[in-house]
């Protein structure tokens, strides 16, 4: 709406003001296009990654090369460059917060646009990878993909005797990639 008004103003504007509004509209449209996901792109978490533009809620501060899921639910809202035409494979690379015997596993329940697409139980330490199939019905010609990650075993490192970190954490996400 604002872009439409600004564009209309620039057509009626003169000189510097019209050009300034045109520049502002072009910059906004370019940044909006840049945040749209293209199949095969990697969503990279961490300080130097691009995941922040997709993180709707439930994420901690990005760290070097990863971002912790914060609390029992983390959500990614991914605007799509174009709707997916068939099922999608979502590959996630991450590692769990484990502290045996108090915390022996982390479970990630993955939903795509309201449809559960898989459950991942992480029991080993270190980097892990899992691929989920997102059926076409979950995509329904959508212009946005909402991934909900439910994390029922999230706990603070402090509560399990690991360190003094009070944040409720579960899984450190490194990257997600969607392919058709």
If asked whether residues 30 and 54 sit together in one domain, one would say: no
Q: d(Cα 176, Cα 94) in Å, to the nearest integer?
A: 9
Full residue range of the structural domain in which residue 156 is found: 42-179
pLDDT surpasses 50 at 2: no
Same domain, 47 and 11: no
Are 12 and 75 contained in the same domain?
no
87: CATH: 2.60.120.260
Tell me: do 24 and 105 sit in the same domain: no
Q: Is the pTM of this model over 0.85?
A: no
User: Could you give the 3-state DSSP secondary structure of residue 3?
Assistant: helix
28 and 49 inside one domain: no
- Number of domains into which the chain is organized: 2
- Confidence (pLDDT) at 140: 81
Tell me what pLDDT residue 74 has. 98
Q: Same structural domain for residues 141 and 170?
A: yes
Cβ proximity of 70 and 46 under 8 Å: no
Residues 28 and 84 in one domain: no
Residues 145 and 103 in one domain: yes
> Does one domain contain both 57 and 143?
yes
CB 139 within 8 A of CB 88: yes
What tens digit of pLDDT does each residue of 41-95 get?
A: 999 999 999 999 999 999 999 999 999 999 999 999 999 998 888 999 999 999 9
Q: Is 123 in the same domain as 63?
A: yes
């Amino acid at each position: 709406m604002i872009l439409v008004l600004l564009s209309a103003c620039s057509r009626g504007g003169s000189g510097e003001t019209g050009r300034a509004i045109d520049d502002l509209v072009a910059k906004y449209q370019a940044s909006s296009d840049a945040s749209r996901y293209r199949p095969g792109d990697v969503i990279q978490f961490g300080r130097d990654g691009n995941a922040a533009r997709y993180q709707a809620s439930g994420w901690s501060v990005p760290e070097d090369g990863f971002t912790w899921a914060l609390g029992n639910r983390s959500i990614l809202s991914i605007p799509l460059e174009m709707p997916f035409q068939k099922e999608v494979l979502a590959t996630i690379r991450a590692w769990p917060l484990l502290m045996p015997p108090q915390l022996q596993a982390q479970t990630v329940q993955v939903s795509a646009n309201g449809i559960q697409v898989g459950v991942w139980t992480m029991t080993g330490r270190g980097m892990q990878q899992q691929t989920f199939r997102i059926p076409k019905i979950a995509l329904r010609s959508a212009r946005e993909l909402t991934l909900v990650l439910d994390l029922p075993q999230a706990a603070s490192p402090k509560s399990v005797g690991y360190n003094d970190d009070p944040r409720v954490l579960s899984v450190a996400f490194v990257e997600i990639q969607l392919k058709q």
